[in-house]
Chains A and B, each alone.
Chain A
Amino acid sequence: MIVSLGWHAYMSNTNIIEVENIVVSFGDVNVLDGVSLNVAEGEVRGLLGPNGAGKTTLVNVIATLLKADSGVAKVAGFDVVSHGKQVRSSIGLAGQYAAVDELLTGRENLEIVGSLYQLSRSEAKIRANETLERLSLTEAADRLVRTYSGGMRRRLDLGACLVGQPKVLILDEPTTGLDPRTRIELWGFLQDLVDGGTTVLLTTQYLEEADLLADQITVIDKGKVIAEGTADDLKDLIGGANLVIAPTDPTELNNLAEAVSTLNQNDPRIDEQKGCIYLSVDGGAASVVKASNLIEAKGVALSSISLERPTLDEVFLKLTEEVTQ
């Protein structure tokens, strides 16, 4: 099932990443099975998928590290195969593991990467300084990276893709393997970055991360795009929301369920322990009003009524489940 919400159609003129029908196979396995993806300039796109979905393979194709078997990928208008060097000038890649040099200082790491972006030595020095400042690494700048914590290494790795001031940042699972506190800290830096208007392609296994940072989310699984849209679009995909209604008197649960049963074809689910009923609805806030009216007509007193949106986790599980079936 491919769910396209038609959003990128309007933006096609300013797409900075264009991926069309990319196929990559290792042996008999199609790691990418016809993936298409368009990212507009200035957009933060989350590429969400479980382990082995093909996220890193797609990133490697876009970053010119891996040649696809078929399909076309362009960055800033340049084809990744025929104009690799121009593509590499336009991107900054932070791979899955922090590829920083442990035997060099933070500053040396950034200066070397700057020089390889073809900056002059003095420019590379200035940019390295600015980047260290921006990522709060100025104090540790002249220490060997060997002495850095995991979070600092990730920040430096992020810095390495910023020194060249590329048009597109590609971050492959930037917070994988970090403890929760360090992850939240890194999110702060990423948030500043994406607020600055840089185009970012971010792969992640964490829905929370995609929800927090990305404007648009592409869900991929088993080498295929299975859904695309904003976090809200995706949540709408699995049937709107749940209405949670609790009567004042728990013995009225069945009465209550009967009262609202006409709202939806599915019968409400009764949770006796929690003393409430659940009913999936499509209508958003309007369904709260409808339900209230029905319940009032039946004469049941309520202690609470609320609308719960599904979490992205539920969306994700639902979507990947459908692919499995």
Chain B
Amino acid sequence: MNSLLSFFGDSLVMTRRNLLRLFRTPQVLVFSTIQPILFVILFDSVFGGSITPPGFENYIDFLVPGIMVQTAMFASINTGVGVAEDLEKGAIDRFRSLPMARTAVLFGRTNADGFRTLFVMTIVICIGFLVGFRPTTGILNLLTGLALAVLFANAIQWAFVFLALMLRSLEAVQAASFAPTFPLVFAASTFAPVQNMPSWLKGFAEHQPVTVTVDSVRGLFFGSEVLEASGGSLSSSILMSLAWIALIFAVFVSLSSWRFRRN
């Protein structure tokens, strides 16, 4: 009981520490916002004319959920970078020498980065609105979709925490991050429907976590019909997405905690 209380208290302190650091480096916030904004405008202009996804009239409606989840993936690289930086600068050694719940160091990082992602995704939605994005299912579904995307981002952040704990160097984390991130983001329904992909890729693309999460957000924003148009359904997408999220959390929270305690 006592240790549970100290875990929550310490996580709160560490979350506050990381949020303070975030506000003191507005550059990070600005640049991690500029990139998805650029993507919304660029991709809509470039692909909007030639891609008509089944179930959608406007490409921008299809695109915004994709960019939200793409943001979840790319912005999570920063989580790994942050952990590596704390390791390199000796901050983690200091925390590990204190009588605190050790894993609170990691939860503090992912909590703060969860807030950062929420902020960036909200901006993406707002920019989307400016260029024609019009969800049809009401504010509650909009918020649920946003929450699911943030939850997914939070799970992915734990994967990058683990990567940083293994590699222990800022440059290595940056270099290693792109290999898993790119296929997951692009071999997915993020920017284009998976139906037209070659069959060797399609099997992976249909079931991987990014696709099912993007589809869930789309279904939440526009109703199950847009998924049924290509043979899916909202309930199965959400179930798959939540299963992936639970699995990613379970694997990487335990691996990271184990690695962090060990050394």
Chain A positions within 8 Å of B, measured between CB atoms, are 63-67, 85-86, 88-89, 91, 93, 95-99, 101, 103-104, 108, 112-113, 115-118, 144, 160, 164
Q: Which residues of A contact B179 (CB under 8 A)?
A: none
- 9-residue interface stretch from B96-104, B139-147, B149-157: B96-104
Closest residue on chain A to residue B262 by CB atoms: A67
Q: Is the interface of B mostly helix, strand, loop or mixed?
A: helix
Closest residue on chain A to residue B10 by CB atoms: A116
Instruction: Known A101-B17, A101-B91, A144-B24; judge A63-B97 contact (CB<8 A).
Output: yes
Q: Which residues of A contact B21 (CB under 8 A)?
A: 101, 103-104
Min CB distance B26 to A, Å, is 11
Closest residue on chain A to residue B3 by CB atoms: A85
What's the Cα separation between A94 and B96 when bound, in Å?
A: 12
Q: Is the interface of A mostly helix, strand, loop or mixed?
A: loop
In the complex, whether B229 has a CB less than 8 A from a CB of chain A is no
Q: Which residues of B contact A115 (CB under 8 A)?
A: 9-10, 13
Q: Which residues of A contact B90 (CB under 8 A)?
A: 95-99
Min CB distance A281 to B, Å, is 47
User: Which of B10, B17, B20, B94 has most A Cβ within 10 Å?
Assistant: B94
Q: Which residues of B contact A104 (CB under 8 A)?
A: 17, 20-21, 24
The B6-24 residues at the A interface (CB cut-off 8 A) are 6, 9-10, 13, 16-17, 20-21, 24
In the complex, whether B93 has a CB less than 8 A from a CB of chain A is yes
In the complex, whether B50 has a CB less than 8 A from a CB of chain A is no
Asked whether A112 lies within 8 Å of B89 as measured between CB atoms, the reply is: no
Instruction: Known A66-B263, A118-B6; judge A112-B17 contact (CB<8 A).
Output: yes
- Pick from A85, A98, A101: contact of B99, CB below 8 A: A85
Q: Which residues of B contact A89 (CB under 8 A)?
A: 99
What's the Cα separation between A113 and B89 when bound, in Å?
A: 16
Interface string of B60-102 (1 = CB under 8 A from A): 0000000000000000000000000000011101111111100
In the complex, whether B25 has a CB less than 8 A from a CB of chain A is yes
What's the Cα separation between A175 and B10 when bound, in Å?
A: 30
Min CB distance B8 to A, Å, is 12
Asked whether A88 lies within 8 Å of B97 as measured between CB atoms, the reply is: yes
Asked whether B94 lies within 8 Å of A160 as measured between CB atoms, the reply is: yes
What's the Cα separation between A103 and B13 when bound, in Å?
A: 15
- Pick from B20, B93, B100: contact of A65, CB below 8 A: B93
What's the Cα separation between A66 and B25 when bound, in Å?
A: 33
Asked whether A113 lies within 8 Å of B94 as measured between CB atoms, the reply is: yes
- Pick from B6, B20, B25, B95: contact of A108, CB below 8 A: B20
- Pick from A65, A99, A144: contact of B91, CB below 8 A: A99
Min CB distance B100 to A, Å, is 4
A–B Cβ pairs within 8 angstroms, 5 of them: A64-B97, A95-B90, A101-B91, A118-B6, A118-B100
Asked whether A91 lies within 8 Å of B100 as measured between CB atoms, the reply is: no
Asked whether B89 lies within 8 Å of A116 as measured between CB atoms, the reply is: no
